[in-house]
């Protein structure tokens, strides 16, 4: 008997319902409903070779609705991803399986990005589609693939999806194809209880090609994909589906969304689908058809490899370096040269301006570095001569005007990093880190190298007032595991923090930078990246220290002034600069102990909240910083009125010494 597209889709359905049943948890509805979409994509439309799920020119598939993870795991198993054995399917959601509840990139081969928080996948995919075009603009047709997204109703309801759709439409990312699992059902029931958006009109309004097809007609889906590929716009295909397709009583209802179907319902589904096989058993002919589909891209992959081999050797080496994410040899020298000049430059500077100078100094040596901003280019200072902006249809450039779309920007940056070939940086005001937070968290969980430049990092921004003044932001960002929060104090530290962020291949970073000018903190050139230690003794005490002052960024100069004043009163004081608390926590115990020191009084100064500093100063330490919101006034007045001054530090230290 010949294997039909329907048989192949049923294999996905069966694996999904059986795995969820065995795990006693999970989401059968989406895999059963979207099985035809996945079958059409993975057996016909998509370019990939499952023998190498990391082939750089593969089409990307993003399961934006991560709760449908069993769809992806089933496809990976069926197409022959070698790590995705039937045992892994049987171990769905169990400890150390390759099949966690929601798909996790770098954990499971063939998973392109971690999904689960709705809206992130489709937005991350925008970055992948953009990276594809930008890399092609630089390296030519050795880069030539599509980005497919399977998005659910929930993905499209999330606000971030609007930012993603708008920027993708604007940039004419015509290789991005979104297939909507248009089942009209979410957890609370029919979509009509909460949503009545006309998605076709919505996508069209955002510059997309949009159409609707029967999501259980694979030929119709494939025809729509072909039309999408031919379009000069990104494409949206609403695939009308039935959630839980095949389940006799639960299909088409929210009951099939996120719980095991139960024995009886599964027996009924087997009958309805014409799938008499035992749980986890895929008949040989159906499996063979799937495996053939998974291998059908071998020719394309081989042809690509020959093409790569035929490139000019230097270009090929550069392309491979870029994809591997290995930093260029020239970075260290560029940073060292910058630091030499910085040490000799006594003029005050805002660290956002210092950052601009650093970008200018390293951009030539690090061609993979992209910059951008969410409509604050002139304030974030992220655009330099070496980073010309891209524009719709013209992807040769290194700067992205994201528009006022912080969340979409941060998610797309994750996608650029995941795609490979670039180190994306983006930018906004630090107070608006909250607008990026779900993407920052996901980036940290995924371990991607995205660098978020966040300027105007405290009350030091002054007159714009408390809406714009970060208070709890630095502390709250430090709370996200694997997110490095840098707050440099001057030109030298800014260069070191940029370097540390670039070298952190598996961590995203925040560069919290000032609006206001700061005096030079480091007047002596040191080759070593001291900031990469997270904290270091910036200025030793004369004699045995009685006070240690710890500070970051703009408050380092306050600490240095306080040190002088205390010394003048006979109190030997040392200053420790703390540009990155996260990296300091990761140092060995001996370095930490030596850096924290033995002075009886420890003071921390930071124009933010105390949270996080007790790990250095202890609960008996003195904290000078913020306890509430800021205010609108010139920044010098604010520092005075909130008591973040050298005089206040001195008094607090003396009081504690007594």
We find the least distance from the C-beta atom of residue 244 to ligand TPP, in angstroms, to be 9
Residue closest to 206 by CA, chosen among 149, 153, 161 = 161
215 binds, among ligand TPP, Mg ion, none (CB under 5 to 8 A by kind): none
Answer yes or no: are the C-beta atoms of 168 and 210 closer than 8 Å.
no
Count residues near ligand TPP (CB under 6 A): 17
182 binds Mg ion (CB under 5 A): no
d(C-alpha 381, C-alpha 642), whole Å:
28
Closer residue to ligand TPP, CB minimum distance, 153 or 490: 153
- DSSP, collapsed to helix, strand or coil, labels residue 401 as strand
Element containing residue 539 per DSSP (H, E): strand 536-539
Phi, psi of 638 (to 5 degrees): -65, -45
Burial of 389 (0-12, 13-18, 19+ CB in 10 A): middle
The counts of H helices and E strands in the chain are: 27, 20
CA distance 132 to 58: 11
CA distances from 619 to 120, 583, 592 (A): 39, 21, 17
Return the residue of 1, 187, 309, 589 that touches ligand TPP, per CB under 6 A: 187
**373 binding partner (options ligand TPP, Mg ion, none; Cβ < 5 to 8 Å by kind):** none
Our answer to whether residue 585 is catalytic in this structure is no
The residue (of 253 and 632) whose beta carbon lies closer to ligand TPP is: 253
100 binds ligand TPP (CB under 6 A): no
Asked if residue 556 lies in contact with residue 522, where contact means CB atoms within 8 angstroms, the answer is: no
CB burial readout 506-533, b (16+ within 10 A) else e: ebbbbbbbbbbebebbbeeeeeebbbbb
Q: Which does 257 bind (CB under 5 to 8 A by kind): ligand TPP, Mg ion, none?
A: ligand TPP
Our CB check for ligand TPP shows the closer of 11 and 30 to be 30
Q: Which of 114, 186, 218, 235 binds ligand TPP (CB under 6 A)?
A: 186
* E strand or H helix that includes residue 517: strand 517-518
For the segment 234-273, give every residue that binds ligand TPP (CB under 6 A).
243, 257
Picked from ligand TPP, Mg ion, none, the partner binding residue 60 (CB below 5 to 8 A depending on kind) is none
Q: Minimal distance in Å, beta carbon 215 to Mg ion?
A: 11
Stretch that binds Mg ion, among 185-193, 338-346, 414-422, 434-442 (CB under 5 A): 185-193
Cβ contact 411:437 at 8 Å: no
Q: How far is the CB of 504 from Mg ion (least distance, A)?
A: 38
What is the rounded (10 degree) CA torsion for 482, 483, 487, 492? Answer: 70
**Could you say which of ligand TPP, Mg ion, none residue 294 binds, taking C-beta under 5 to 8 angstroms by partner kind?**
none
Alpha helices (H) in 196-297, listed in sequence order: 199-205, 218-230, 263-273, 284-295
Q: Which does 562 bind (CB under 5 to 8 A by kind): ligand TPP, Mg ion, none?
A: none
Interacting stretch for Mg ion, rule CB under 5 A, among 78-86, 182-190, 262-270, 290-298? 182-190
Q: Cβ of 423: how many Cβ atoms within 10 Å?
A: 23
Give the per-residue contact string, 28-57, with ligand TPP (x = CB under 6 A; - = no): -xx---------------------------
Is 183 near Mg ion (CB under 5 A)?
Answer: yes
Among 67, 209, 456, 487, binds ligand TPP (CB under 6 A): 67
Q: Which of 7, 81, 88, 153 binds Mg ion (CB under 5 A)?
A: 153
Full 3-state SS string of 577-624:
ECCCHHHHHCCCHHHHHHHHCCCCEEEEECCCCCCCCHHHHCCCCEEE
Residues 145-164 that bind ligand TPP (CB under 6 A): 152-154, 158
List the catalytic residue out of 104, 132, 368, 406: 406
Site for ligand TPP in 101-120 (CB under 6 A): 116-118
Residues involved in catalysis: 406
The residues of the shown chain that bind ligand TPP, judged by CB under 6 A, are 29-30, 65, 67, 116-118, 152-154, 158, 183, 185-187, 243, 257
């Amino acid at each position: 008997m010949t294997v039909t597209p329907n048989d192949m889709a049923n294999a996905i359905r069966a694996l999904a319902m059986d795995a969820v049943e065995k795990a006693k948890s999970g989401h059968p509805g989406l895999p059963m409903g979207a099985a035809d979409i996945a079958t059409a994509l993975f057996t016909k439309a998509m370019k990939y070779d499952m023998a190498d799920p990391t082939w750089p020119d593969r089409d990307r598939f993003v399961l934006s609705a991560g709760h449908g993870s069993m769809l992806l795991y089933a496809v990976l198993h069926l197409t022959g991803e070698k790590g995705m054995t039937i045992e892994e399917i049987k171990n769905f959601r169990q400890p150390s399986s390759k099949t966690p509840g929601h798909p996790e990139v770098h954990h499971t081969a063939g998973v392109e990005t971690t999904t689960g928080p709705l809206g992130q996948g489709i937005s991350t995919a925008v970055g992948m589609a953009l990276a594809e075009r930008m890399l092609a603009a630089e390296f030519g047709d050795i880069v030539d693939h599509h980005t497919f997204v399977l998005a659910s109703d929930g993905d499209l309801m999330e606000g971030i999806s609007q930012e993603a759709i708008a920027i993708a439409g604007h940039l004419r990312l015509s290789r991005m194809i979104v297939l909507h699992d248009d089942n009209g059902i979410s957890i609370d029931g029919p979509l009509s209880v909460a949503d009545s958006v006309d998605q076709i009109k919505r996508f069209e309004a955002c510059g997309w090609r949009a159409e609707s097809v029967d999501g259980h007609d694979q030929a119709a889906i494939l025809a729509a994909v072909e039309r999408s590929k031919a379009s000069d716009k990104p494409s949206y295909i609403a695939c009308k589906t039935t959630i839980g397709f095949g389940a006799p009583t639960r299909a088409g209802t929210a009951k099939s969304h996120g719980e095991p179907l139960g024995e009886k319902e599964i027996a009924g589904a087997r009958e309805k689908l014409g799938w008499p096989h035992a749980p986890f058993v895929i008949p040989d002919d159906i499996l063979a058809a799937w495996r053939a589909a998974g291998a059908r891209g071998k020719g394309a992959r081989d042809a690509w490899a020959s093409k790569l081999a035929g490139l000019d050797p230097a270009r090929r080496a550069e392309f491979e370096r870029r994809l591997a994410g290995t930093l260029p040899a020239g970075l260290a020298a560029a940073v060292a040269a910058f630091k030499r000049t910085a040490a000799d430059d006594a003029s005050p500077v805002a660290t956002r301006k210092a950052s601009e100078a650093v970008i200018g100094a390293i951009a030539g040596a690090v061609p993979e570095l992209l910059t951008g901003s969410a409509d604050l280019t002139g304030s974030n200072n992220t655009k330099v001569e070496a980073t010309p902006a891209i524009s719709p249809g013209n992807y040769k450039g290194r700067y992205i005007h994201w528009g006022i779309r912080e969340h979409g920007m941060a998610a797309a940056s994750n996608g650029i990093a995941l795609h490979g070939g670039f180190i994306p940086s983006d930018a906004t005001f630090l107070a608006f880190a909250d607008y990026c937070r779900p993407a920052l968290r996901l980036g940290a969980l995924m371990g991607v190298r995205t660098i978020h430049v966040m300027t105007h990092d405290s009350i030091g921004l002054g007159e714009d007032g408390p809406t714009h003044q970060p208070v709890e932001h630095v502390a709250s960002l430090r709370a996200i595991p694997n997110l490095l929060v840098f707050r440099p104090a001057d030109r030298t530290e800014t260069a070191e923090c940029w370097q540390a962020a670039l070298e952190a291949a598996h961590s995203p970073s925040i560069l919290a930078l000032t609006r206001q000018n700061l005096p030079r903190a480091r007047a002596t050139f040191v080759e070593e990246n001291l900031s990469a230690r997270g904290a270091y003794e910036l200025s030793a005490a004369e004699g045995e220290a009685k006070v240690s002052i710890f500070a970051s960024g703009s408050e380092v100069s306050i600490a240095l002034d306080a040190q002088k004043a205390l010394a003048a009163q006979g109190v030997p004081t040392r200053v420790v600069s703390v540009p990155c608390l996260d990296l300091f926590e990761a140092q060995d115990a001996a370095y930490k102990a030596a850096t924290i020191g033995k002075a009886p009084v420890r003071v921390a100064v930071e124009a933010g909240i105390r949270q996080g500093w007790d790990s250095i100063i202890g609960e008996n330490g003195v904290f000078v910083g913020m306890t509430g919101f800021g205010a609108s006034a010139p920044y010098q007045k604010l520092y005075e009125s909130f008591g973040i001054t050298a005089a206040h530090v001195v008094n607090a230290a003396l009081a504690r010494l007594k």
